Structure 1
Amino acid sequence: MTQARTDTIAPGSGSTVPGAGSTVSELGTAAPAESDKIPAHVWRTAAVVVFGAIMGMLDTSLVNIGLHTIGADLDASLATIQWVASGYLLALGVSLTICGWLGRRFGVGRVWLGALAAFTITSVACAFAPTAGWLIAMRILQGLAAGLMIPAGQTILGQAAGPKRMGRVMGVVGIAVVGAPALGPTIGGLMLANWSWQWLFLINIPFGLIGFGLGLRYLPMQGGAATGGLDLPSLILAGGGVSAVVYGLSEIGIDGSFTAPTVWLPVLLGLAALAGFIARSRTRTRPLLDIRMFSNRVFAAANSASFFSGASMFSLMLLLPLYFQVLHGDSLIRTGVSLIAYGAGGAITLPLGGRLTDRFGGGIIAVGGNLAVALAVLPFAFLGTDANIVLVQLLLFAAGVATALAGMPLVSAAYAAVRPDQLPDAAAFVNILQRVGGAIGVAVIAVILSRATQSGWSLLSGYHLAFAATAALSLTASTASTILRRHQRS
């Protein structure tokens, strides 16, 4: 066994000098020691950012649940009211591409606070929307705010924590990412059963007010730096490209076909726009998003694995509610209760996953986590509709535990691989690739379930194949994570 090397963090700097402190294990990553304890101010920062994360994640699941009720009340067709969700997602894609530039120009603390204020205000506007058109317009503005708030919050945390504490801090904050979608169906069902749909938006107000007050007190509000003017052509290419790809993939869910013009045409145009953005960025001194960051092999490998992990996670988040609602005929509230085990597994395990990531590196943890997701999901490809409920809950809990070890270590590894000044762009890239991967995962499930119905298969057979596909996506993410592991070791 090789002798461990020791480093000490020089006070007030990001460099290391020889001495005593955190040890470097055989795995080539720093193991937490006393000097790596997370200061109280970092946890305060994390607590503030959690308010934004909860709002963003909970809002999506709540509004999607209430679309039918909202459409009936505003006298809008399903095709029209669907844009309440679609417009939000497309706007999210646009603002993700500009978040890095805004963070460098004005400071990420100010960007986060402004985005939180805009998200809260547009929530009020959505609640009092008199028509479907007004509601869709406000949801687009809300999506623009959410697309700024999520990566800005992650950037703040990354800069406050530093690379050696990244896993633990991201792990605790990730509880909101896993817990909010799991609780969303239950909360939304109870709200719609007792109150009007407007409360699906009004619930954001207390979170927004508390978060804004805490943000003013605890978040860093330093100004930005000279970044040059906004590269509008790059913004159009990148924002339009991401939105077009996500939109085209989401259209697959309507008829389950890749060949429809509403699917392949936006995807093709989006990919062409993204290719133009990449070509333009490579020639500019100050690009909108620094695509050259992908020359960092660890950062590139972490994002590649995160792309497939996002595909697996989003497909599972779509599939599990359908499994209970469609296959078993459960109500919305009962479905939400059934999914609590999944959310609980993730919430319990995320802090442990963060500690393991800091100690051993995100690559090895993600290899095991994504493999565990596949093993937890695969039994659903063989279970009948009369499966023992205790077994189902145990599998859901195991899937939640595995999910906590699958995605967040990859995000932490990507952020730890770059300099603090690169974090705004890194956060944008991570979120873009996760969401495009998620759109692909959801599209795969939609096609499988649609084709199964059209081919005359039994409903159960369609879900068996869908769960098998989700397990295959997790295996792909595990394989991609081995590349990250190899680069981290070297």
Structure 2
Amino acid sequence: MSTQEMSPAAGDEKLDGAVLKVAGVVVLGAIMAILDTTVVNVALQTLSIEFKASFDTIQWVATGYMLALATVIPVTGWASDRFGTKRLYLIAIGLFLIGSMLAGLAWDIESLIIFRVLQGLGGGMLMPAGMTIMTKAAGPQRIGRVMAVLGVPMLLGPIGGPILGGWLVDAVSWRWIFYINLPIGLITLALAWRMLPKDKPEPSQKFDFPGMLMVSPGLALLIFGVSKIPSAGGVSAPEVWAPVVVGVALLIAFLMRAGKVPNPLIDLKLFKDRTFSVAMITMTFFSVAFFGAMLLLPNYFLLVRGETTLQAGLLLAPQGLGAMITMPLAGRMVDKIGVGKIVIPGLVALVAGLVVFTQITATTSYPLLLGSLFVLGLGMGATMMPIMSAALQTLQPKDIARASTATNIIQQTAGAIGAAVMSIIQAALLATKFGVPTSDGQIAATIAVANPATHEAAAASSADAFGTTFTWALVLTAACVIPALFLPKRKPALPAGVEGGQAAPVMVH
């Protein structure tokens, strides 16, 4: 496929057939990685029983995957230049498939965690590599539409993941939450080999190994330390503050060094672009709040309302349905009007939806909960992908690969920290209400709610803990409005590399 074919005219707003074929391959890979995250989350209780492991240990099935994502993402930008995005994408799918197969064959909890890390190494490269492929294929003037297409797996994950996971665990076996990736991955691998543009790797600059040894361990140690707070009983424990301090020190060292070297792992010069910087600040607040809140929703239905995993997954569907309405509309509007005019109303919808959950009880009516989830979905569809679009719209085509990498690092890291923080708040509140150590809060609540003699009081106390935790999510979401006010409120101008209504040729590699 020629470069010219992959560089559409500025006036051509529709995504042509060639771009849609590329989009289909990228979306399949993203669906595989995102579904795997949500499928596994609903199966943690079953895995705890299967391997006779504490919830703190089982959590590493999810946390290990997130740590692997955070550590491998910084490499993706350099690897895209060095090996080409197509080859990198094929390697990522291969690693993910091998990790999935081995995870399904796991014989103890330690082996499962190791194989999940291998999955994460592949999954961490899928989304940024796919985003780079798509944005180069469509050109900068259609980034909003591209982000709407890439948003499809973001919608299918929250809807399909819990439902699929609940059904597989209940009707088949927990091993199939990993085996299900194999047919999807093999199809994606075959389509990627055939349909993605041929690789034309460019001679890459020397890889920033010192930067890699600062950023990846720094992110991993930071998330590791935060995730240990519940089991350690607070931030004063050495297993919490020691990795956090070392992780932060490594990240600060990287920031100090990155401005002085010619080819840093993460190009800090991108942040000289005002729109990019504002978008990244907004994305940070959004990811901490939103992904943290999304972790709480299925747990409320499972713990407080006593629903099965499959039923909890079905109850979350209105959120995805709401996003399905606004995300395509937002994608089209981003290319025509200012991002700020879309994101601000989206954040208002998110705040409105979360207000209901701050007042949640053990008997809150389902119509009200489902309606609030639908409003949350409307807000999500008008915020997440438009914010990412804003980050890329004003950049030069040559900067897209590294900008996509930086965007994904921020989103994944902030989301992982948000999930950990919300879990910590919830665990601490439950532990206080049931008079147990922080690490046992969830277990104590589950036992008390399941006991008919204590069910009513335990459900009410648990619901109150959820409401307080959702209040923190509401505050963080409201804080997103401040940086979002500085997002562009006019139609974006094409970057300097685009002249005369024609996108500058983009080397597809």
Normalised by the length of structure 1, the TM-score is 0.89
Aligned counterpart, 1:374: 351
Aligned counterpart, 2:365: 388
**Residue 132 of structure 1: how far off its partner (Å):** 3.1
Aligned counterpart, 1:230: 207
- CA 455–253 in structure 1, closer or farther in 2 if over 3 Å, else same: closer
Residues in 2 aligned to 1:447 and 1:13: alpha-carbon distance in whole angstroms: 46
Residues in 1 aligned to 2:339 and 2:322: alpha-carbon distance in whole angstroms: 19
2:277 is equivalent to residue 303 of structure 1 = no
User: Which range moves more in the overlay, 381-390 or 140-149?
Assistant: 381-390
Aligned residues: 464
2:124 is equivalent to residue 147 of structure 1 = yes
Q: Check the 8 A contact 2:158/2:316 in 1, yes or no.
A: no
Aligned ranges for residues 128-147 of structure 1 at < 5 Å? 128-147=105-124
**Residue 277 of structure 1: how far off its partner (Å):** 1.2
Aligned counterpart, 1:122: 99
User: Which range moves more in the overlay, 110-119 or 75-84?
Assistant: 75-84
- CA 67–466 in structure 1, closer or farther in 2 if over 3 Å, else same: closer
**Residue 111 of structure 1: how far off its partner (Å):** 0.6
**Residue 455 of structure 1: how far off its partner (Å):** 4.1
User: Which range moves more in the overlay, 395-404 or 459-468?
Assistant: 459-468
Aligned counterpart, 1:345: 322
Residues in 2 aligned to 1:281 and 1:126: alpha-carbon distance in whole angstroms: 37
Unaligned 5+ segments in structure 2 are: 435-460, 494-509
Aligned counterpart, 1:468: 471
**Residue 250 of structure 1: how far off its partner (Å):** 2.2
Aligned ranges for residues 232-381 of structure 1 at < 5 Å? 232-254=209-231, 257-381=234-358
| Partner amino acid, structure 2, of 1:63 | V
Aligned counterpart, 1:214: 191
Structure 1 residues 184-204: Cα deviation after superposition (integer angstroms, max 9, x where no partner): 222111111121221111100
Residue in structure 2 matching 1:158, options 108, 132, 135:
135
Structure 1 residues 68-101: Cα deviation after superposition (integer angstroms, max 9, x where no partner): 4335445555454433222222111111011111
Residues in 1 aligned to 2:89 and 2:407: alpha-carbon distance in whole angstroms: 17
Q: Secondary structure at the match of 1:38?
A: coil
Residues in 2 aligned to 1:256 and 1:321: alpha-carbon distance in whole angstroms: 24
Aligned counterpart, 1:53: 30
Q: Secondary structure at the match of 1:222?
A: coil
2:482 is equivalent to residue 479 of structure 1 = yes
Aligned counterpart, 1:88: 65
Identity in percent: 35
**Residue 401 of structure 1: how far off its partner (Å):** 1.0
Aligned counterpart, 1:459: 462
Residues in 2 aligned to 1:80 and 1:37: alpha-carbon distance in whole angstroms: 48
Residues in 2 aligned to 1:160 and 1:59: alpha-carbon distance in whole angstroms: 27
**Residue 221 of structure 1: how far off its partner (Å):** 2.6
Aligned counterpart, 1:8: none
Q: Check the 8 A contact 1:151/1:427 in 2, yes or no.
A: yes
User: Which range moves more in the overlay, 34-43 or 96-105?
Assistant: 34-43
Q: Secondary structure at the match of 2:228?
A: helix
Q: Check the 8 A contact 1:373/1:406 in 2, yes or no.
A: no
**Residue 410 of structure 1: how far off its partner (Å):** 0.5
Aligned counterpart, 1:4: none
Residues in 1 aligned to 2:354 and 2:477: alpha-carbon distance in whole angstroms: 9
**Residue 231 of structure 1: how far off its partner (Å):** 2.1
Aligned counterpart, 1:427: 404
2:19 is equivalent to residue 42 of structure 1 = yes
Q: Secondary structure at the match of 2:485?
A: helix
Q: Check the 8 A contact 1:375/1:471 in 2, yes or no.
A: no
Q: Check the 8 A contact 1:175/1:346 in 2, yes or no.
A: no
| Partner amino acid, structure 2, of 1:344 | L
Aligned counterpart, 1:27: none
Unaligned 5+ segments in structure 1 are: 1-10, 16-20, 23-33
- CA RMSD of superposed structures (Å): 2.4
**Residue 133 of structure 1: how far off its partner (Å):** 3.0
